[in-house]
Every structure is written in structure tokens, then in C-alpha cells.
């Protein structure tokens, strides 16, 4: 840059402007460029630490006991990768968090424990190991573990960094703290998880899946059945998407979810 250009850039800066040609490659990369770095979080390393939060903080103190996954190259936001947040949450038997909603969409995968439940807009769902559950943007939700259960750990995934980047996130506590159960327990799965069937005349106009809970047994069975007739992807093994049964598309507009099965000895390509 010549002294004249440097002066010019300074003048522009003082006026709250800039010369596009100095930043064009940065703001319009030739290819998508992720600042996140690859990292493996091992459940074996994290599980005991997550459990320790049960003794260290009460739900009242913590709001929720979560150990979040921090991508080391993303110090600017709390993100596991890209614009997605993820964490491991633990709750003890008899605990129930207050109901709330936010513009971030959330999904959860139950890692372990018995007796977990969640209530999404009045649809209470019982949650077992390896179940997958949605709490889409704007839905009231609360989670807990039944008195007779065991400590439960689930992995949360939310599009919090994305919503924050859009200046669109908010968090609201339910006026009644806990919301009523207004439908029969597990009705969403009973209504929308039929094998290729949907209830006649039932409409759904929301932009997320009406099926909030994807149970593990039919999921594992679907993987095994598919594996009988396919070699699977050389990159991803037997790979299936959780879908909105009404559209065949992603479960929510900003976060999709898939399940992968690797068979014994299987090693996939990069």
C-alpha cells in the first residue's frame, strides 16, 4: 500500500467505512471455511465429570447442570462446531427444571439413565436410553427425572451460536414455572411414528416435525433392516436421517440429525 492509499484507508475508517477490496477474500471466501478444529470428546472422559456436577451444584444454583463442549478454536462463542452448541446434561431422580422457551432450537439424545421425561408444549414424553427428542424453537419445555429413576445424562444440541449471530435469541421462563401436561403421555410418537402411516385428516402447519420423540428400538431396527440390503456409504457406514414424517425433510429448519451404524470391523474413508 502506498502512503496515499494508507491515508485513504484511514480517512474511510474515520467515516465508518472501508474499501471492499481490502477484505473481499475474507468476507467472500472461495469455499466455505470453518474456523472450528476437529476434536474428539470421549464419553468415558466426560461421564464422571458430568456426574460430579450432581454433588457440586444444585439445579437451583446451576439452572441446569451441563458440561458444554468447547471447540478450542472457537473462543469467541460457545460452540462445539460451526454454529452449533452441544453439552452433556445430568439430572437426578426427583428433579424437574422449570419450563422455558427460547428462539434456539434444541435436540437431545439420551445417553443413560432411567426415568427421564420431557414436556414439550404439553406433550409429556418418557425418555429411555438412546431415544432422540426435539424441543423446537419457541416451544415451552421442561425436563426431569422421575422419583424412582436413576441419574440421567443426555446430550443437548442447540443452534444457540447461530441464533446469537442473528441477534435473534431470547430466553423466557414459563409464567407457571411448570407447564401442564395437556395431551396423553407419549402421544406425539403414538400419533406420528406410524410405519409409513399418518393419521387421516390430522393437520400440522408448524415448520418442524410433529414427531418429537424418536424411540431407540425402531431406530435400531431400521438401521439393521437397511444394512441387510445395502453396503452403506463408504464414508459414513449405514447412515440414516431422522425426518419430519410429514415432509421427509429435516426434523427442524436449523438443525437436522442423523444416526450412523458402523458394523464390527468397519472402517470408513475420509
**What are 167's three cell numbers?**
441477534
How many residues bind ligand 1HN (CB under 6 A)? The answer is 11
Does position 143 interact with ligand 1HN (CB under 6 A)? The reply is yes
* 93 contacts: CB under 8 Å, gap ≥ 6: 115, 145, 146, 147, 148, 149, 150, 151
| Closer residue to ligand 1HN, CB minimum distance, 79 or 158 | 158
| Closer residue to ligand 1HN, CB minimum distance, 92 or 160 | 160
Specify the stretch interacting with ligand 1HN by CB under 6 A; choose among 44-52, 155-163, 193-201, 245-253: 155-163
| Closer residue to ligand 1HN, CB minimum distance, 90 or 188 | 90
| Closer residue to ligand 1HN, CB minimum distance, 176 or 217 | 176
Does position 88 interact with ligand 1HN (CB under 6 A)? The reply is no
Q: In this structure, what DSSP letter does residue 220 have?
A: H
Specify the stretch interacting with ligand 1HN by CB under 6 A; choose among 25-33, 39-47, 156-164, 200-208: 156-164
Q: Which residues pair with 259 in a beta bridge?
A: 240
d(CA 117, CA 149): 10
Does position 158 interact with ligand 1HN (CB under 6 A)? The reply is yes
Q: Where are the beta strands (DSSP E) in the chain?
A: 66-68, 85-91, 100-102, 106-112, 116-120, 123-127, 132-135, 141-145, 152-158, 171-173, 213-214, 238-241, 258-261
Does position 64 interact with ligand 1HN (CB under 6 A)? The reply is yes
Specify the stretch interacting with ligand 1HN by CB under 6 A; choose among 54-62, 154-162, 220-228, 246-254: 154-162
**What are 5's three cell numbers?**
492509499
Does position 91 interact with ligand 1HN (CB under 6 A)? The reply is no
d(CA 73, CA 9): 30
Does position 141 interact with ligand 1HN (CB under 6 A)? The reply is yes
d(CA 210, CA 208): 6
- Summarize as ranges the residues that interact with ligand 1HN (CB under 6 A): 64, 66, 87, 89, 102, 106, 141, 143, 156, 158, 160
Amino acid at each position: 500500500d502506498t502512503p496515499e492509499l494508507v491515508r485513504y484507508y484511514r480517512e474511510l475508517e474515520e467515516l465508518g467505512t472501508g474499501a471492499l477490496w481490502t477484505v473481499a477474500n475474507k468476507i467472500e471466501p472461495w469455499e466455505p471455511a470453518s474456523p472450528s478444529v476437529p476434536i474428539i470428546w470421549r464419553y468415558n472422559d466426560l461421564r464422571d465429570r458430568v456426574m460430579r456436577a450432581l454433588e457440586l451444584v444444585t439445579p437451583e444454583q446451576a439452572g441446569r447442570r451441563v458440561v458444554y463442549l468447547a471447540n478450542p478454536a472457537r473462543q469467541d462463542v460457545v460452540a462445539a462446531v460451526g454454529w452449533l452448541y452441544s453439552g452433556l446434561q445430568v439430572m437426578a431422580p426427583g428433579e424437574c427444571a422449570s419450563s422455558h422457551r427460547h428462539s434456539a432450537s434444541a435436540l437431545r439424545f439420551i445417553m443413560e439413565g432411567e426415568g427421564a421425561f420431557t414436556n414439550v408444549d404439553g406433550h409429556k414424553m418418557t425418555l429411555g436410553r438412546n431415544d432422540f427428542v426435539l424441543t423446537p424453537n419457541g416451544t415451552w419445555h421442561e425436563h426431569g427425572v422421575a422419583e424412582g429413576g436413576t441419574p440421567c445424562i443426555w446430550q443437548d444440541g442447540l443452534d444457540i451460536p447461530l441464533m446469537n449471530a442473528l441477534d435473534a435469541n431470547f430466553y423466557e421462563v414459563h409464567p407457571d414455572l411448570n407447564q401442564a401436561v395437556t395431551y396423553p403421555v407419549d402421544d406425539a410418537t403414538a400419533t406420528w411414528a406410524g410405519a409409513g402411516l399418518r393419521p387421516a385428516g390430522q393437520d400440522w402447519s408448524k415448520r418442524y416435525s410433529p414427531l418429537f420423540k424418536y424411540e431407540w428400538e425402531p431406530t435400531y431396527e431400521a438401521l439393521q433392516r437397511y444394512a441387510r440390503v445395502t453396503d452403506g456409504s463408504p464414508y459414513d457406514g449405514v447412515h440414516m436421517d431422522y425426518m419430519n414424517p410429514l415432509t421427509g425433510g429435516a426434523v427442524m429448519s436449523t438443525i437436522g440429525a442423523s444416526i450412523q451404524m458402523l458394523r464390527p470391523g468397519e472402517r470408513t474413508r475420509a
